[in-house]
Structure formats: C-alpha cells, structure tokens
Chain A
Amino acid sequence: MSKSIDNYLKYLDDNLVDVKTIQEINESDEHLYEINRIKSLRKALKDLPQFQPDESNWDLIQRSIQDESIKSLSWSSLKSLSVASLIVFVFLMQPFNFIPDTTIIQSNNLMASSFDQIDDVSTASNMHALLTQELIYREIAAIDVLLNLDSQDDPFSQNKDLILQRESLIDALLHVSLINDETGLRLVEL
C-alpha cells in the first residue's frame, strides 16, 4: 500500500467518514452533474436559431383561406337553397297530384335530412320548418281520408302501401329538428 493511500485512510478514520458515505456523495454528485447537463442541453436547445419561412407562403395561405370561405359560403347557400326549392317544388306540384306519392315521401325525407345537416339553426328559419311540417301533416291527412274510404268500402281491407306511406311520413316528421310543444302534441295524436 502506498504511503499516500495509507495517509488518506488515516484521514478518513480521523474524520469518521466511512466508505459508504463517500459513495453516496459521489452518487449525488453524479446526479447533480446529470441535472446540470440536462439544464445546459435545454438552454442550448432554446438558443438554437429559429427558421424563417419563405415569403411566398403567405400568398398560398391567403388563397386557401379565400377558397375555404367561398366553399363554406356556397355550401351553406346551397343547403338553404335546396331546402327552399324542395319546399316550393312540392308545395306547387302537390295540388295537381303531379308528383307520385313515393316522390313526395322521398322529398319529405330529403327535406328532413337537409334540415338535420344544417348546423346553424338560424340558417333554417322557423318558417321553413313549419312549412315542411305542414306539408307532411297534409300528406298524412290525405292518406287518412283514403284509408277511411277504403275501410268503408271493404271493412276487412288493409291497404298496406298507404299504411307504409303514412309511417314514412311520420318518420319524416320526427326528423324535422324544430319540434315545439305544439307539434309534439300533434305527433301524439297521430
């Protein structure tokens, strides 16, 4: 054993520091060293230069924003227009019995689903919703008259087609989103 180590061990004995404590001190030093190292790394990362995008990007972004706003505007107009035109079309043609019943049912379903697609309730005015409901109620009333006449002629007849049509119309009515208390009561009656 060299003299310096001997002296060192004597120093440890004199100062009551055992080997375990030395080890703990070293470990904690290592831990501190690691923490400082990570801190330095973070600082260095934060100091890295930022990147400048090319000026031409703004033109592309602006064009895309314009496209997006035109697209959303035309889509909402189209939705309103399609609902309005369907209502007008069915309303005008119905008295002449020009449209087959199935078309009316499909139109009603389409109208109902169009209303569902409209996110903004204000876009679909209450007037549109009430008109749609009124048209459907009229259809149901007409079917009820036919069913009554049919049952008077033949008490045992069951006109399945008319009953199915009536059910479809009630479904369409349920799809119209703006159901108030009054229409709720009318639905119960049906």
Chain B
Amino acid sequence: MREKLTITDKDIKAAKQMCPTSQKKIYDAYRVMVYSIAKRIFLNTGYAEDILQETFIDVFTKLGTFEGKHYQLGAWIKRIATNRSLMMLRTAWISRKSDEEIEEVPYQSFEHQLHNNQELEIALATLNPVSRSVLWLHDVEGYTHAEIGKMMKKTESFSKSQLARTHKKIKELLETHQTSNINVKEYR
C-alpha cells in the first residue's frame, strides 16, 4: 500500500535544521519509494538497503541546498535515489556481481511476494540490471529517454534501443511463461 504522509514546507525547514522528528517524517513519507526503486533495479535486499541509507544521508546532508516547495521534495529524493542506484550499477564491481547474485536468487524467494503478478516478476528478474533499470525508470517512474541517457552517462538513443529490446524480450518471456512454468535460471 502506498503511503500518504504529507510533508509541509515547515517540515522541510525543520529538517534543514536537523530536527530528528521532521527527518523521520520525511523518511517515512519516501522510504518505500526509494527502497522500491533500488529493489526493482538490483533485486537484492542488501543493495537496496545500501541505496536507501546512502540516499537519505544525501537527502539530509544536502537538504540545505533544496530550494523547492514541499510538493517537489519527492521528485528531488527520487532523483537522488535513481542517481545513487545507477552510480552503483555503473561500478564494475556491481556490474560483475549483480548477474551472479541474481542467478543465486531462488525462484522461491520471490514467490511469497508475488500474487497475480508472478509471471511479470519472473520476467523482470530474468532481465539484466541495465535493461531492467531503463524499463523501470521509463515505464514506471516516468523519466524521459533523454533523462535516462544522461543519468546513465549514455545517449538518448541508447535508452530508446534498450527499452525497445526490453519490451520485446518481456513479451517473449511472458509468452513462454504462459505455456510453461519455467524456473528463472532457465532463461539465462
């Protein structure tokens, strides 16, 4: 369930002065959003928690530079979370590790989180982290190809071609899934 906590300009002002109550209020309002973005990109609880922590440390140490209104805070935090995730994804260590670790994620570990979306969750899990990031940022978070290209230090057309290929792959995966209930590992 999406949280409906409302943050006011007063909360932001207090958080800028390091008020713990206001900081907690901001954290509670946006923690699910930040954690979900990271979890969707990495599929890994450890990385998602790292991103959650790094994002909110950035948020509270750089809140002094935020000059927007309360309704713009979510977008600002989302951008920090996305940049943090993509920065982690860009590091060679993660690029190398993420594939191995996704392979180690057993199908059963996803199962309890899935309801009617099992097929889609499995299809998402079979994508490589870069394709999954592009798909998620464009189709769910609403970033444009130009923004995604910039954040990933790539071109706009890179984002477009990645998305087109990912859509095609998802379609193929879902079609395959409709006929057989194959384990995630078998797609690799």
Contacts and interface: CB of A to CB of B under 8 A. Distances in A.
Interface of A: 37-38, 41-42, 44-54, 57-58, 60-62, 64-65, 68-69, 72
Contacts of A54: 49
B55 to A, nearest CB: 9
Nearest to A64: B57
Query: Interface SS of chain B: helix, strand, loop or mixed?
Result: helix
A38 B168 CA distance: 10
A58 B27 contact: yes
A65 B61 CA distance: 7
19 contacts: A38-B167, A41-B139, A41-B171, A45-B124, A45-B136, A48-B120, A49-B115, A50-B2, A51-B32, A51-B35, A53-B31, A57-B49, A57-B52, A58-B24, A61-B52, A61-B56, A61-B57, A62-B20, A69-B18
Contacts of B36: 50-51
B49 A53 contact: yes
B117 A53 contact: no
Interface of B: 2, 18, 20, 23-24, 27, 31-33, 35-36, 39, 48-49, 52-53, 56-57, 60-61, 113, 115, 117, 120-121, 124, 135-136, 139-140, 167, 170-171
Contacts of A61: 27, 52-53, 56-57
Contacts of B24: 58
A37 B139 CA distance: 13
A52 B49 CA distance: 10
**What 10 A-B pairs come out closest when comparing CB atoms?**
A53-B35, A50-B36, A42-B139, A51-B39, A61-B56, A51-B36, A65-B60, A45-B140, A64-B57, A50-B32
A48 B48 CA distance: 17
A50 B32 CA distance: 7
Contacts of B56: 61, 65
A48 B121 contact: yes
A69 B23 CA distance: 14
B114 to A, nearest CB: 8
A46 to B, nearest CB: 5
Contacts of B33: 50
| Chain B CB within 10 A, most for which of A50, A68, A72 | A50
A150 B140 CA distance: 79
| Chain B CB within 10 A, most for which of A38, A49, A53, A60 | A53
B41 to A, nearest CB: 12
A40 to B, nearest CB: 10
Contacts of B52: 53, 57, 61
Contacts of A50: 2, 32-33, 35-36
A44 B57 contact: no
A52 B35 contact: yes
A54 B115 CA distance: 21
A72 B49 CA distance: 24
A131 B116 CA distance: 73
A72 B20 CA distance: 18
